[in-house]
A and B are shown apart, each in its own frame.
Chain A
Amino acid sequence: MNIINLFNALPGACAQGLIWGIMAIGVYITYKILDLADLTVDGTMATGGAVCVMMMISGHSVWLSLLVAFIVGCLAGLVTGVLHTALGIPAILAGILTQLGLYSINLRILDNKANQAINVDKYDLLVSLRYIKDVPFYRNTILVVAVIIALLVAVLYWFFGTELGSAIRATGSNHNMSRAQGINTNAMKVIGLILSNGIVAFASGLYAQYQGFADVNAGRGAIVIGLAAVIIADVIFGKIKGNFAFKLASVSFGAIIYYIVLQIVMWLGLNSNDLKLLSAIIVALFLAIPYIKTKYAPKKVVKKGENADA
């Protein structure tokens, strides 16, 4: 348990956290803004990488590959959206169905292999494990991803301030009111799901480059990591009165914190196979907190008639 080992691992944790931060921003759109739990992302978090790596292998530029990954992610979101709104399947189930279907599609994209490597020496990757140290600062993965997040936050901040973006937020806040105000709530949900899965697939494309391979199982449990980041951000930065851009940015900090905590836990000797269990427990606890609070706290407040800040 050499502390130096931990410090050496931190930049990598930061880079991974930032990439998952982009993914978590996608989850934030469905989970927080639209109030939908979308499990499609467990599929799109593998699809984006598969598309991106296969395109780069066949000679396309990294930016075009990422763009196509984004678009394919959007299509996955569209499928879930249509299953949910036009065909009336509950959102969670619609997401699970798309995710399951994507597994087969991902395998096909990966040429029926469980993973496909992309060599950092042979291809001009945007981000990589190898671009953490000993590269010019502008090629440093942490900086590159941070800039991408800044741009993404700026674009989303603008978008959710438009008439259309406001209508999406209203749909998540109160769909009765939204319809009474003439908002097509089903269309808004579909747009949100498309946008969210596009962003997740984009993150997936970056993550595959970072790791040096696309993996058909890359998305397993992705929703839990995304939710963990959203929840950590809520717990740590939720009390700070910041605007919407701050909220989005804080989600990526949530993901960084998640990865740093994982590093520490591993450094303390936990087997990396146990990490998923740990993540699940942590997220379950944080998801339960608001419920426990409303279930057990208000009684006290009402009885004593104290200040009602609970």
Chain B
Amino acid sequence: MLELKNIHKTFNPGTVNEKTALCGLDLKLNEGDFVTVIGGNGAGKSTMLNAIAGVWFVDEGTITIDGDDVTKLPEHKRAKYLGRVFQDPMNGTAATMQIDENLALAARRGKFRSLKKGITAKEMAYFKERLATLDLGLEERMTTKVGLLSGGQRQALTLLMAALVKPRLLLLDEHTAALDPKTAAKVLETTQRIVDADNITTLMITHNMKDAIAHGNRLIMMHEGRIIYDVSGEEKKNLHVSDLLAKFEEASGGAFANDRMMLN
């Protein structure tokens, strides 16, 4: 359903800050895949997700989603295919707007925004129902400004928003990394539930190798702008953290450099 072909991306070309973040990246996802993505700092994981989302255009290569070539489509037009949750809980919601208003914005993802009412009574009832599934009591606080919610609540809400209109592909960029361990576990559980409920094709970056092994049907490891390891099915289920560390050392030809990952 998603196909990345020979993607290249270099930041600040021709300057001292030149940095090739993706070089010849290829990736093909099948419908319903839940792929976890790991790799060291600067491996190009976020860059890959941003390339798919269209935050900027890639230098080379093509991106197709369900057969549509989106390579040249600007970010806001690609949004109709994608649900996204970011690492920073501040990023996924409009803090100065109410919970219901945020959901109403998400309900119109990929649709033309006219002079019709921004939020209808019928929608309110539906949002309330959906919020209740998060089990955070947010359904009682629909008119609260999102800025007053905790990081975990905001990430859960962002997840709900991302899946409110079923996306062809859900992009999660370390969306639990900024949360405390207990909240992170809860948000991850919510993620799994939302993905399962609609069988949403998902790409999830995480720096937690245990999570990467425990979730999804496929795991990819990135290094220097390429995918260096790709496992799925039974093989993935039987992985251990030590296997991943060994794999990484083999590829990078040195000790595992990402201290954030070592901790897990």
Chain A interface (Cβ within 8 Å of chain B)?
A: 159, 161-167, 169-170, 172-174, 176-185
Give CA–CA (A166, B94) in the complex, Å. Answer: 11
With a CB–CB cut-off of 8 A, which chain A residues contact B80? Answer: 182
With a CB–CB cut-off of 8 A, which chain B residues contact A165? Answer: 118
Q: Which chain B residues (114-142) contact chain A, with CB distance < 8 Å?
A: 114-119
Q: Is the CB of A183 within 8 A of B94?
A: no
With a CB–CB cut-off of 8 A, which chain A residues contact B97? Answer: 166, 169-170, 173
Q: Is the CB of A174 within 8 A of B76?
A: no
Contact with A182, one of B92, B108, B116, B117 (Cβ below 8 angstroms): B108
Q: Which chain B residues (211-251) contact chain A, with CB distance < 8 Å?
A: none
Name 7 A/B residue pairs within 8 A (Cβ), A-sorted. Answer: A161-B118, A162-B117, A164-B114, A174-B94, A176-B86, A182-B77, A182-B111
Question: For the complex, would chain A's binding face be called helix, strand, loop or mixed by DSSP majority?
Answer: helix
Nearest B residue (CB) for A165: B118
Give CA–CA (A178, B161) in the complex, Å. Answer: 12
Q: Is the CB of B106 within 8 A of A181?
A: yes
The distance from the CB of A85 to the nearest CB of chain B, in whole angstroms, is: 12
With a CB–CB cut-off of 8 A, which chain B residues contact A166? Answer: 97, 101, 104-105, 113, 118-119
With a CB–CB cut-off of 8 A, which chain A residues contact B79? Answer: 179-183
The distance from the CB of B153 to the nearest CB of chain A, in whole angstroms, is: 15
Q: Is the CB of B118 within 8 A of A162?
A: yes
Chain B interface (Cβ within 8 Å of chain A)?
A: 53, 74-77, 79-80, 82, 84, 86, 90-97, 101, 104-106, 108-111, 113-119, 161
Give CA–CA (A172, B108) in the complex, Å. Answer: 18
Q: Is the CB of B76 within 8 A of A179?
A: yes
The distance from the CB of A96 to the nearest CB of chain B, in whole angstroms, is: 27
Give CA–CA (A161, B114) in the complex, Å. Answer: 11
Contact with B96, one of A161, A167, A173, A180 (Cβ below 8 angstroms): A173
Nearest A residue (CB) for B53: A180
With a CB–CB cut-off of 8 A, which chain B residues contact A167? Answer: 105, 108, 113
Q: Is the CB of B95 within 8 A of A173?
A: yes
With a CB–CB cut-off of 8 A, which chain A residues contact B101? Answer: 166, 169
With a CB–CB cut-off of 8 A, which chain A residues contact B75? Answer: 179-180
New A-B pairs, 6, CB < 8 Å, besides A174-B91, A182-B108: A161-B117, A166-B119, A169-B101, A178-B94, A179-B79, A181-B105
**Contact status of A163 and B94, CB under 8 A, knowing A179-B79, A182-B76:** no
Nearest A residue (CB) for B83: A180
The distance from the CB of B81 to the nearest CB of chain A, in whole angstroms, is: 10
With a CB–CB cut-off of 8 A, which chain B residues contact A162? Answer: 114-118
With a CB–CB cut-off of 8 A, which chain A residues contact B109? Answer: 181-182
Q: For A167, A176, A177, A181, which residue has the most chain B Cβ atoms within 10 angstroms? A: A181
Q: For B111, B113, B114, which residue has the most chain A Cβ atoms within 10 angstroms? A: B113
Q: Is the CB of B96 within 8 A of A177?
A: no
Q: Is the CB of A173 within 8 A of B76?
A: no
With a CB–CB cut-off of 8 A, which chain B residues contact A174? Answer: 90-91, 93-95
Q: For A163, A172, A178, A180, which residue has the most chain B Cβ atoms within 10 angstroms? A: A180
The distance from the CB of B263 to the nearest CB of chain A, in whole angstroms, is: 25
**Contact status of A163 and B108, CB under 8 A, knowing A182-B76, A183-B113:** yes
